[in-house]
């Protein structure tokens, strides 16, 4: 059974002062604590887990760690060297919520040459975060916790966001992807069989109702087969070569882009609506 070494006594007032906390005094039972920006933490009974020193010791200077909140997660900070002990599941959420700010100067090397995990007392392993970040942090292979010296948390957050050049490259790639998606949507709409079929069906229904003759509607449907074919099968019709549109007319010798064929079909299909609107305006 491993015995926990006796830690130096640290008063609550000293822990509050090291944490930048101060009593506001409006709580009738016990002093109410607020942060430097006057954000209340609740009564001492409720916030004691954030204020009292823990049994864990700093791997660098062997001073007791104090538990405190950081971006919605609970971490353990050393009031002497400002190092941070963060559990495995809490490092990612903290990094994504870190504000964009310049990184502080690099921390000095750990004074303890053989740092041990403050949670399970196992040796800490130094590794390069994400293999190419250049930020070497210490991790416990037993419990998965991470020890960050002063300034390393900001450097990790800056690495995840990338340099300004990388951010500009990502923004350019995102804009290009949005433009590509808009073009894909336009091409899908251009070759929409459902939309063109509904417009053609509307022609047939309106003309059959206004004239009172089903034959007129059938004649309209027969007349609309060509523009609908151009919209429904633009690539097939665009690849047709060696055809002539009439006796004595030139023969098609080159392929036509499918999008151009579909645009021609829409022009023919919508021309009656355009002419009807022009006639009403005149």
What was the pLDDT predicted at 185?
A: 92
Alpha-carbon span 45 to 117, nearest angstrom: 29
Alpha-carbon span 234 to 242, nearest angstrom: 17
Tell me: pLDDT of 107 over 80.
no
| CB count in 10 Å sphere of residue 43 | 15
Does the predicted TM-score (pTM) go above 0.85?
A: no
What was the pLDDT predicted at 233?
A: 92
pLDDT confidence bin for 111, thresholds 50/70/90: low
pLDDT, one tens digit per residue, over 72-94 is 888 999 888 888 999 888 888 88
pLDDT, one tens digit per residue, over 202-239 is 999 988 888 888 888 888 888 889 899 999 999 988 88
Please state the rounded mean pLDDT for residues 58-64.
86
Which residues, in sequence order, are bridge partners of residue 147?
A: 85, 138
Residue with tokens 């490092």: 91
What was the pLDDT predicted at 246?
A: 62
Domain layout of the chain by residue ranges:
12-162, 173-281
Burial of 221 (0-12, 13-18, 19+ CB in 10 A): middle
């Amino acid at each position: 059974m491993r015995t926990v070494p006796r830690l130096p006594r640290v008063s609550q007032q000293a822990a509050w002062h090291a944490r930048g906390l101060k009593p506001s005094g409006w709580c009738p039972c016990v002093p109410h604590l607020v942060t430097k920006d006057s954000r209340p933490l609740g009564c001492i009974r409720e916030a004691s887990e954030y204020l009292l020193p823990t049994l864990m010791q700093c791997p660098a200077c062997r001073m007791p760690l104090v538990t405190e909140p950081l971006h919605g997660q609970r971490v353990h900070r050393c009031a002497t060297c400002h190092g941070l002990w963060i559990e495995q599941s809490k490092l990612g959420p903290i990094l994504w919520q870190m504000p964009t700010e310049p990184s502080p100067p690099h921390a000095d090397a750990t004074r303890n040459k053989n740092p041990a995990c403050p949670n399970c007392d196992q040796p800490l392993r130094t590794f390069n975060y994400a293999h190419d970040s250049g930020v070497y942090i210490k991790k416990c292979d037993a419990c998965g916790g991470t020890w960050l010296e002063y300034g390393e948390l900001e450097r990790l957050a800056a690495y995840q966001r990338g340099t300004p050049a990388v951010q500009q490259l990502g923004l350019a790639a995102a804009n290009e992807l949005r433009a590509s998606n808009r073009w894909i949507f336009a091409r899908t709409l251009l070759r929409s069989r459902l939309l063109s079929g509904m417009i053609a069906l509307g022609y047939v229904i309106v003309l059959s109702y206004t004239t009172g003759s089903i034959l007129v509607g059938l004649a309209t449907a027969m007349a609309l087969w060509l523009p609908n074919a151009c919209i429904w099968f633009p690539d097939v019709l665009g690849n047709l070569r060696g055809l002539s549109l009439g006796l004595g007319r030139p023969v098609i010798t080159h392929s036509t882009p499918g999008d151009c064929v579909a645009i021609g079909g829409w022009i023919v299909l919508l021309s009656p609506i355009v002419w009807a609107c022009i006639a009403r305006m005149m």
